[in-house]
Amino acid sequence: MKVIIYVFLGGGLGSVIRYLISLCFVNYTFPLATLFANILSCLLLALTLFFVQKWSLSDSVRLFFVIGFCGGLSTFSTFSYETLGLIKSGHINYAISNILFSISLCMLVVYFLTKKL
């Protein structure tokens, strides 16, 4: 039960932060809020995994941040929905850019941070 509470609290906090980020990017055709939230989530995920390993932090910390917080902050469903919306509204170049930027930048953040740290 304790595990579920850590994930629940982290996920709720991540979701609230995600919502606040979306308020900062309201008037853009390109889905900057989702891109920013996903990159930030990947950055925090990599840093959390590094510190959990380096300092032998408890599994509760990993559950709270990696599964809960980063899971609540990042969102593949919103990324998919917004990309489909770009395609439907005729913004094909934005849709392709969103796919390329989102996947490549998030992968690069995790790769370089886990490699360097």
Global pTM value: 0.89
Residue 55 corresponds to which tokens in the numbers above?
């300092």
Domain that holds residue 65: 2-116
Q: How many C-beta atoms lie closer than 10 Å to residue 70's C-beta?
A: 23
pLDDT at 117: 64
b/e for 9-42, b at 16 or more Cβ within 10 A? ebbebbbebbeebbeeeeeeebbbbbbebbbbbb
pLDDT at 49: 87
pLDDT exceeds cutoff 80 at 54? yes
What confidence tens digit (pLDDT) does each residue in 82-103 have?
Answer: 999 999 999 999 999 999 999 9
pLDDT at 66 over 80: yes
Using the predicted structure, report yes or no on whether residue 116 has a pLDDT greater than 80. no
Q: What DSSP designation does 75 have?
A: -
